[in-house]
Amino acid sequence: MTGANKPADGDRDLPANSLRGGRFAGGPADIMRRINASIDFDKRLYAEDIAGSKAHCAMLVAQSILSPEDGAAITAGLDQIRSEIENGSFSFSAEREDIHMNIEARLAELIGPAAGRLHTARSRNDQVATDLRLWVRGAIERLDGAMRELQRALIDRAEAEAATVMPGYTHLQIAQPVTFGHHLMAYVEMIGRDRSRLSDCRRRLNQSPLGAVALAGTSFPIDRHATAAALGFDGPAANSLDAVSDRDFAIEFLAAAALAGMHLSRFAEEIVLWCSDGFGLIALSDAFTTGSSIMPQKRNPDAAELVRAKTGRLNGSLIALLTVMKGLPLAYGKDMQEDKIPVFEAADALELCLAATTGMVRDMRPDRERLRAAADRGFSTATDLADWLVRIAGLPFRRAHHATGMLVKRAEARGRTLAELPLAELQAVEPAISAAVYDVLNPDRSVTSRLSFGGTAPESVRVAIAEARRRFLE
């Protein structure tokens, strides 16, 4: 009797829970059913589960483990199940625990005993590991597209504001003048690194667990390279134990998501600050703000605040899965059922945050006059004065730094900017100062002078914008 014609354990209709089989005399307790079932969340893997099953089925037929007739029936049944799930007519059952058994049970209803042959040379262990890798791979591709659109929005906005002068901050104190475009381009670079991390994660996860079976491989003459190729993997995972028990790829994905969320949160915090009455540097429209239930004058930047808050969810997802995996011996443990919720939640939260941030970037209206006026505060050109004393007057930097600090103290006491101090008063502190110093005490001139690579001069910013379009958007 050939492998294609041998009867299999599945050559009969599946009971409500076929997994207990002949080993168990009774059914599980109700609480056991509740804690054991994962269908409420792992049904999101239906497309990946069906794709993996079709690839496995085609390989079994090619290897003469499954007859062509059974293979055709299984494939047609799987296609119908996918259609039913997508049109909402599929009935998910907690009794069948998970997405794998829900699909297998429906397949048995559709095509009869042949459905039981699909699980030959396969376990739920390698099945779910394959499904989750496929799902994370798809999530990475979706998130990369969303990050690219955020970069596009930032670059477009930076180009429009390449020469808009604003104060740059350290310690949230006014430091030196920069341009708004230069400030926005910093986030383009951050998101670029986030995309790179996700790309690296995708490259490492792209190994197929399918065919590792429960943990030890199989005695059937399967072709793991064929199923890997059919599913778009670079190849099969090299070790069957590792293939079913590895969740590095999911943890790495969550780490990359948490980093990206942190970047979005930093930007969200700046939007909240810039919109506040104390700053008033930008405004958001009604589309990205909310009102107050009691204070009719309020316009709250709630989209930004929620982006900032969802960082906690992303961080929590990473810590949750690290905690699940930290004490597990090889190979598979049911603990790993808890891998999906953090992955799904993090992907959903990050995708939403990216869309909201992109919307806010396109919606924001910078107040150029207030941005420029803010650059006049806080003695933002003090460093330019110290640099001038070194470059033009030939002072050692420490002496220049000390003299500049004394001049800032005098200006602060008189309620003036450095540019408003008379020359005689400047010279009273440092005789080497000449009238030419006033050329560098203007924020616009300060910004224009910073032509170093990666600097804030509008000319440099426009070069950076053109290069960023080439690197990230082409």
- Give the residue numbers marked as catalytic: 171, 292
Strand bridging mode 165-170 / 282-283: unpaired
113/431 Cα distance (integer angstroms): 99
Instruction: Return d(Cα 386, Cα 392) in angstroms, integer.
Output: 10
Residue 364: C-alpha distances to residues 157, 176, 238, 393 (Å): 9, 23, 50, 43
Reported residue count of the chain is: 474
Other C-beta atoms within 10 Å of 412: how many?
13
Half-sphere exposure of 448 (CA within 13 A, CB side): 7
List the one residue out of 416, 372, 461 whose CA is nearest residue 158: 461
* Residue that the structure tokens 């951050």 belong to: 190
CB atoms within 10 A of CB 116: 22
Whether the Cβ atoms of residue 124 and residue 130 lie closer than 8 Å to each other? no
What tokens were used for 126? 């390698």
Write out the DSSP string of 217-236.
Answer: --SS---HHHHHHHTT-SEE
* Residue for token pair 């779910």: 128
The Cα–Cα gap between 410 and 235 comes to 70
